[in-house]
Chains A and B, each alone.
Chain A
Amino acid sequence: MTLELAANQGHSPTAEQLDSSPLAVRGMTVSYGQKPVVFSVDMTIVEGAMTAIIGPNGAGKSTLLKAALGIVKPLSGQSLVFGKPLRSQRHRIAYVPQRASIDWDFPTRVIDVVLMGLFRELGLLRRVRQRHLDKARACLDRVGMGDFSDRQIGQLSGGQQQRVFLARALAQDADLYLLDEPFAGVDAATEKAIIAVLKNLREEGKTVVSVHHDLSTVPEYFDRVFMINTSKIAEGTVADAFTAKNLDKTYGGRLATAHVDQLDLVAG
């Protein structure tokens, strides 16, 4: 697997790669105020690989993902999904937002959240049938949350909430899975369960992209890295791009701080 991918790691992708790439971002610039958060970023995700987007806090990792998916409006730039405009490829994408961005007090049950992943199938008014419920339950089983389907989401631990969100993404039957810090504030068991599901997706030939914070687990979890600090720093296989030199460029003098952050995350 990794050997195959190594052949694809060139820094200037060919036109062919652009056509087939599950997600190709070109010239993406996003700004919330005066200063750009993401500046002129090109990113080419390789099919069938697990890619980590890494960079310091506030480096624009989540924003890049959101802009690529049309959740926030970029100042300039575009993204192609499997070589076509995003609009026509939404059914092939599953997005897992940051857990902290959600109001977990919302009056809804675990099973209802997973059923949200079937929206494209259900549309506005189609009734939820037994087969939809069966599918949602099967997705919950895959993340080890089968016994929680009637629980209100606010009654779950952080790790359990994250697994429910992953189950919703599984229900979408996508080809490209994009996750925003899925391991932030989750317990060790959940982290293991999530990474097992993601690796399983890769074995099925799906593409996984994840914003990631914990540098120590990058080589263990991922095939490829995309390093960003407002601008793109490097992209490629873990073996080629995840180097001390690139890390230094990405985190600057803040690498020490990044390690502290990382310790906090593990403890929390």
Chain B
Amino acid sequence: MSGEEFVPLSLTPLLIGMFAAVACALPGNFLVLRRQALIGDAISHVVLPGIVVAFLITGMVSTWPMMLGAAGAAVLAVVLIEAIRKLGRIEPGAAMGVTFTSMFAAGVLLLEQSNTSNVHLDVEHALYGNLESLIWLDAIGWQSLFDPIALAALPHELVRMSVTLVVVSVFIWVFWRPLKLSTFDEGFARTLGIPTDLVGLALVIIAAIAAVAAFDAVGSIIVIAMFICPPAAARLMTNRLETQIMWSVIFALLSAILGFFIAGYGPLWIGAENAVSAAGMIATVSGLILAATAIWGPCRKRGGAPVS
């Protein structure tokens, strides 16, 4: 594959896929350890109506209105869950389940009813994103990476995803100790003066930022898969949190790269004509990696027999 073909058509979607995968996998490590893995799933469902409403009001697909819409939807979800729990006197899990699925359903209905055919926002987009279409038309080869004019025309999703990845990484790096302490032993963390509620809230907000940023580029399938699969697979590779984070990044990158190329070229190798969805294939690869670590991972025996 030559640079003239690879750089404009494959480089940017590949990078966006990689950045999105890592940005979701990093907070996913803590969500999985806190038994909150489904929060990523929940967020990506809840934000859909928010994004659609933001689009209906502004008439365009752009970052800030969509982020605001998503945040508004998340707040509404929290209020609804509390209301259902208090008024209906049912357990929190059920209240969440009801809220998330009905808000997602409302989002799908809104999408169908609104006239969004002129832009790329539809139900399929919400699920798989449009990774393959995030191409860099101004690039003519590797030399474009040093060409300011071509660089200025990079897809804005790439910029947004890189900024998100930086924000997520800095958050995890700076608050590493409070995150680890309050995840492992909340009571002890509180006696040290760590505001564990705030740490938990900040983690969910960071996860939500990663989910919403990734959502537009790669769709909710990748978001859900990347919050859970790479961290869960990484846990089976090591008994140290630091090493687990490293493995989760490796697995996220591996899923993105392998998934992207298998989706683009795999069907051609077996004689089929059309490529398949990159997002779907990336999520599938991450699931296969998890399956492989579940069978061969060195630390898959959990809480093993006491050794004295």
Contact = CB atoms under 8 A, between A and B. Distances in A.
Secondary structure of the B contact surface, majority rule: helix
Given A90-B191, A107-B241, A108-B241, A102 B308 contact: no
Given A104-B303, A124-B174, A155-B307, A87 B181 contact: no
Contacts of B194: 119
A261 B184 CA distance: 29
Contact of A105 (B191, B302, B308): B302
Given A104-B303, A155-B307, A71 B240 contact: no
B239 A107 contact: yes
Contacts of B271: none
A112 interface: yes
Contacts of A107: 33, 235, 238-241, 243-244, 299
A97 B185 contact: yes
B129 interface: no
Given A107-B244, A119-B181, A71 B187 contact: yes
A103 interface: yes
A124 B193 CA distance: 13
Interface in A237-261: none
Interface in B138-180: 174-178, 180
A226 interface: no
Given A107-B238, A107-B241, A102 B191 contact: no
A42 B22 CA distance: 52
A72 B221 CA distance: 38
Contacts of B193: 87, 90, 120
Nearest to A97: B187
Interface residues of B, number: 33
Contacts of B120: none
Contact of B240 (A104, A112, A116, A119): A112
A25 to B, nearest CB: 15
A33 B140 CA distance: 67
A109 B191 contact: no
A81 to B, nearest CB: 11
B304 interface: yes
Given A90-B193, A152-B239, A108 B306 contact: no
B86 interface: no
A74 to B, nearest CB: 14
B188 interface: yes
Contacts of B178: 124
B183 interface: yes
Interface in B222-256: 235, 238-241, 243-244
Interface string B282-308: 000000000000000001001110111
B303 A154 contact: yes
Contacts of A154: 239, 302-304
B29 to A, nearest CB: 9
B244 A155 contact: no
Contacts of A87: 193
Interface string B111-127: 00000000000000000
A90 B193 CA distance: 7
A180 to B, nearest CB: 8
Given A87-B193, A109-B240, A101 B187 contact: yes
Contact of A95 (B188, B241, B304, B307): B188
Nearest to B305: A155
Contacts of B306: 155-158, 160
Interface in A71-121: 71, 87, 90, 93-95, 97, 101-109, 112-113, 116, 119-120
Contact of A119 (B177, B183, B243, B302): B177
Nearest to B184: A106
B304 A102 contact: no
27 contacts: A69-B187, A69-B190, A87-B193, A95-B191, A97-B187, A102-B184, A103-B184, A104-B303, A106-B33, A106-B241, A107-B33, A107-B240, A107-B243, A107-B244, A108-B184, A109-B239, A112-B240, A116-B180, A116-B185, A119-B181, A120-B193, A154-B304, A155-B304, A157-B306, A160-B306, A160-B308, A168-B188
Given A87-B193, A106-B241, 14 more contacts: A66-B187, A69-B187, A70-B191, A71-B191, A101-B187, A104-B303, A107-B235, A112-B241, A120-B193, A124-B178, A154-B239, A155-B307, A157-B308, A158-B306
The 3 closest A-B pairs by CB, nearest first: A152-B239, A157-B306, A95-B191
